């Protein structure tokens, strides 16, 4: 077979490794640099030799690799030598000079060991490497033609053309590959008080759903209002609107194929439909419901009533405020009882049980051990049914989120297994901050927002990533945008407070305090003193603010992180190091605090590497090869690697 050279960014190593393993199973000899792709300015002699000796060069274009001069050099050599096979990991457009060849989308259907476009890749290798074609293999499910996204044919203006272009760009990406076709008709409800408004909402929901759903399920057809008819087959999603002054009511109803059985519905009532972006909320919920439906009805194990209705209520309810953790456990326990072979039901049960265990862990509750085992048992069952389930890694993360280094390992494995699962990306963003990888934290959070656009929590995490990486202007702009979509959301209030409290306007922080910190007046007093010290940072005010934090009655060592943050905010470097030496505090240290913008003075002190070594950070940086951003982005009086070498 062929000698193949794999060119990619190190940040895409997981997907490169998976492709390499498949190519080797196909009988090819694959060369890839596992040590430092992207880390130089010119070819090393080994890489240059491998490029000359290979039959074809497979370049994995992504948002990261297009920025790598190393990957560009390799791609340029391959192009000029007639050896280039471009593959696309995320739809990113190749750099100038490489757009004359269409990139092949590289994605994997759930449960399959070969890529969805396996035949296209095989043919490209045969053509470039001059390998005689083998007899055509029987078409596997992922090689069959995909269902088309049917959009309105009468309204293809500029926005619609852009939407179609976006659809074409992402058709190669999907998360699930079931055996059932799913057709969903989106239309305004005939019962709408304002039919024009309902039609507008339905068109937006259909367009957003058509752009979103193919990334997660490749056998879906979204039938937009212009193409809908009373006799249309498939599921029906009707949107009803009833405006009243500036406000409005809205309802989505999802019905079964017969059009008579209601599977799921959701209602809204807002006093300011424009300010609350009701249209956006309805559209986001429609896409979420469509995705949950494809889970339930698109795979080999197809849910029927009553398990179907229960699953839809639980799946769509995740991230909402109406249900408790216990409610989710009861829902998914019932689903798994009714459908014991349905993998997503077990995945969500594992996740909801992990939330229960996480809540009991720090309370010394006698029920913690039982809750932990219950969550672990559900994880084990879910993985037997679906070894690639990202839900199980999300659940395992919640059982280990008190150990940031272990949590990071779990999340990185989950992201490798299923890069299209948004919550893994959001958790990954949090844990990347705890090891000083702030730019990677922002990238993971941005990826999470693109995968879960309807979640205020994902937006909250993205804003925090911007704040703690020092991108204050971008954070401020994103908060303003998020408030249009979620005007009264606690998560957005908390994100705004995080910006104003330490880095923005102290007066704005004072106004946000009651919305962000839902506590008694006495509990909020230390925060008021900290805000007063920011307004007038005299030594006396700062001492008083820190004393108010030290004077709280709690014996919880984790509460000392508030003191750590305050000391960093006001530049009390020596006191930071004194606190970090306190017996009992080290296991409770929130490592992410140490990499925030106001801790630059702490990091510039060579003692920081000694602290980092005690916290296990130096070991992580060495073993992973990912050193923290501050080592190259800040002016330090020491070299990170040289200083770290003093501590084993």
User: For 270, which DSSP code?
Assistant: E
Q: Do 3-142 and 151-300 come out as alike in CATH topology? A: yes
pLDDT at 319: 64
Instruction: Supply φ then ψ for residue 6, to 5 degrees.
Output: -105, 120
Structure tokens at 424: 């893994």
Structure tokens at 523: 């509990």
Could you tell me which residues are beta bridge partners of residue 244?
Answer: 247
Question: What sections of 386-489 are H helices per DSSP?
Answer: 390-400, 404-417, 422-433, 438-451, 456-468, 472-485
Instruction: Supply φ then ψ for residue 29, to 5 degrees.
Output: -100, 115
Omega of the bond leading into 306 within 30 degrees of 0 (cis): yes
Q: Which of 376, 306, 378, 304 is CA-nearest to residue 344?
A: 378
Q: How far apart are the first and last CA of the chain?
A: 46
pLDDT (average), residues 205-233: 79
Please determine, for residue 361, whether its predicted confidence score (pLDDT) is greater than 90. no
pLDDT at 25: 82
Please determine, for residue 213, whether its predicted confidence score (pLDDT) is greater than 90. no
Structure tokens at 464: 């925090």
Please determine, for residue 70, whether its predicted confidence score (pLDDT) is greater than 90. no
pLDDT at 1: 76
Cα atoms found within 13 Å of the Cα of residue 295, Cβ hemisphere only:
27
pLDDT (average), residues 135-146: 34
pLDDT at 211: 76
Contact assessment for residue 71 and residue 65, using Cβ atoms and an 8 Å cutoff: yes
d(CA 538, CA 548): 16
d(CA 29, CA 31): 7
Q: Which residues are CB-contacts of 380 (< 8 A; sequence separation ≥ 6)?
A: none
Contact assessment for residue 594 and residue 602, using Cβ atoms and an 8 Å cutoff: yes
The pLDDT-based confidence of 639 (bands split at 50, 70, 90) is very high
pLDDT at 232: 66
Domains of the chain, by residue range, sit at 3-142, 151-300
User: For 67, which DSSP code?
Assistant: G
Query: Would you call 455 helix, strand, or coil by DSSP?
Result: coil
pLDDT (average), residues 420-439: 90
d(CA 291, CA 264): 13
pLDDT (average), residues 426-442: 93
pLDDT (average), residues 550-555: 80
d(CA 51, CA 368): 56
H or E element at residue 212:
helix 195-212
pLDDT at 134: 42
Please write the tens of the pLDDT for every residue from 473-501.
999 999 999 988 777 788 899 999 999 99
In terms of CATH architecture, what is 151-300?
Answer: 3-Layer(aba) Sandwich (3.40)
d(CA 90, CA 105): 8
**Percent of the chain residues topping a pLDDT of 70:** 86
Superfamily of the domain at 3-142: Toll/interleukin-1 receptor homology (TIR) domain (3.40.50.10140)
Please write the tens of the pLDDT for every residue from 556-610.
777 889 999 999 999 999 999 999 998 888 888 999 999 999 999 999 999 999 9
Please write the tens of the pLDDT for every residue from 519-542.
778 888 999 999 999 999 999 999
Please report where in the chains the tokens 């922002």 appear, as a residue: 442
The pLDDT-based confidence of 100 (bands split at 50, 70, 90) is low
d(CA 58, CA 3): 11
Contact assessment for residue 174 and residue 116, using Cβ atoms and an 8 Å cutoff: yes
d(CA 550, CA 569): 16
Q: How far is CA 75 from the centre of its chain?
A: 29
pLDDT (average), residues 214-236: 78
Mean pLDDT, the chain, rounded, equals: 83
What is the gyration radius of the CA atoms in the chain, in angstroms? 27
pLDDT at 151: 32
Query: Would you call 3 helix, strand, or coil by DSSP?
Result: strand
Please write the tens of the pLDDT for every residue from 254-286.
998 766 788 999 998 988 877 667 888 898 889
Considering only residues 250 and 80, tell me which one the structure prediction assigns the higher pLDDT. Answer: 250
Q: Which residues are CB-contacts of 379 (< 8 A; sequence separation ≥ 6)?
A: 350, 354, 392, 395, 396
Could you tell me which residues are beta bridge partners of residue 240?
Answer: 251
Please report where in the chains the tokens 């390998």 appear, as a residue: 131
């Amino acid at each position: 077979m062929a000698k193949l050279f794999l060119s990619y960014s190190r940040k895409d190593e997981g997907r490169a490794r998976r492709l390499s393993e498949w190519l080797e199973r196909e009988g090819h000899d694959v060369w890839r640099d596992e040590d430092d792709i992207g880390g130089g300015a010119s070819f090393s002699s080994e890489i240059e030799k491998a490029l000359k000796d290979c039959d074809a060069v497979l370049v994995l274009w992504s948002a990261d690799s297009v920025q790598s001069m190393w990957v560009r050099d390799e791609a340029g050599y391959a192009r000029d030598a007639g050896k280039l096979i471009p593959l696309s990991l995320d739809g990113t457009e190749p750099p100038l000079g490489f757009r004359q060849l269409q990139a092949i989308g590289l994605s994997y259907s759930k449960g399959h060991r070969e890529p969805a476009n396996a035949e296209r890749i095989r043919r490209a290798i045969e053509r470039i490497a001059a390998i005689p074609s083998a007899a055509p293999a029987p078409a596997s499910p992922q090689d069959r033609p995909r269902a088309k996204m049917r959009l309105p044919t009468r309204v293809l203006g500029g926005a619609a053309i852009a939407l179609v272009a976006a659809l074409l760009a992402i058709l190669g990406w999907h998360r699930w590959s079931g055996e059932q076709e799913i057709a969903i008709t989106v239309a305004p409800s005939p019962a709408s008080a304002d039919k024009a408004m309902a039609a507008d909402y339905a068109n937006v929901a259909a367009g957003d759903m058509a752009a979103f759903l193919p990334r997660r399920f490749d056998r879906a057809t979204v039938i937009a209002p212009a193409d809908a008819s009373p006799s249309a087959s498939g599921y029906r999603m009707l949107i009803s609107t009833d405006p009243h002054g500036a406000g409005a009511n809205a309802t989505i109803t999802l019905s079964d194929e017969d059009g008579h059985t209601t599977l799921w519905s959701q209602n809204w009532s807002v006093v300011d439909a424009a300010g609350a972006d009701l249209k956006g909320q309805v559209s986001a919920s429609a896409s979420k419901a469509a995705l949950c439906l494809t889970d339930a009805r698109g795979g080999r194990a197809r849910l029927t009533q009553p398990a179907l209705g229960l699953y839809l209520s639980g799946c769509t309810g995740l991230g909402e405020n109406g249900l408790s953790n216990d409610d989710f456990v009861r829902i998914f326990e019932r689903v798994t009882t009714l459908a014991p072979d349905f993998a997503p039901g077990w995945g969500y049960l594992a996740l909801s049980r992990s939330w229960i265990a996480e809540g009991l862990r720090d309370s010394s509750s006698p029920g913690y051990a039982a809750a932990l085992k219950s969550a672990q048992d559900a994880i084990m069952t879910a993985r037997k049914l679906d070894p690639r389930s990202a839900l199980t890694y999300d659940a395992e993360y919640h059982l280990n989120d008190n150990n940031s280094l272990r949590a990071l390992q779990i999340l990185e494995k989950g992201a490798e297994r299923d890069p299209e699962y948004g919550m893994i990306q959001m958790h990954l963003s949090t844990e990347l901050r705890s090891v000083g990888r702030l730019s990677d934290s922002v990238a993971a959070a941005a990826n999470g927002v693109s995968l879960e656009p309807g979640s205020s929590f994902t937006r909250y995490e993205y804003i925090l990533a911007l704040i703690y990486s020092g991108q204050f202007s971008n954070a401020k702009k994103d908060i303003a945008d998020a408030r249009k979509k979620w005007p009264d959301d606690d998560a957005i209030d908390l994100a705004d407070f995080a910006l104003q409290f330490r880095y923005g306007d102290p007066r704005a922080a004072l106004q946000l305090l009651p919305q962000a910190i839902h506590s008694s007046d006495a509990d909020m007093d230390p925060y008021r003193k900290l805000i007063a010290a920011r307004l007038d940072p005299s030594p006396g005010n700062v001492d008083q603010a820190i004393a108010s934090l030290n004077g709280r009655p709690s014996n919880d060592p984790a509460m000392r992180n508030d003191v750590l943050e305050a000391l960093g905010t006001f530049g009390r470097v020596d006191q930071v190091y004194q606190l970090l030496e306190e017996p009992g505090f080290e296991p409770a240290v929130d490592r992410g605090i140490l990499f925030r913008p106001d801790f630059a003075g702490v990091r510039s002190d060579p003692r920081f590497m000694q602290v980092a070594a005690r916290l296990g950070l130096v070991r992580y940086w060495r073993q992973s090869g990912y050193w923290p951003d501050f080592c190259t982005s800040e002016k330090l009086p020491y070299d990170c690697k040289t200083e770290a070498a003093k501590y084993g």
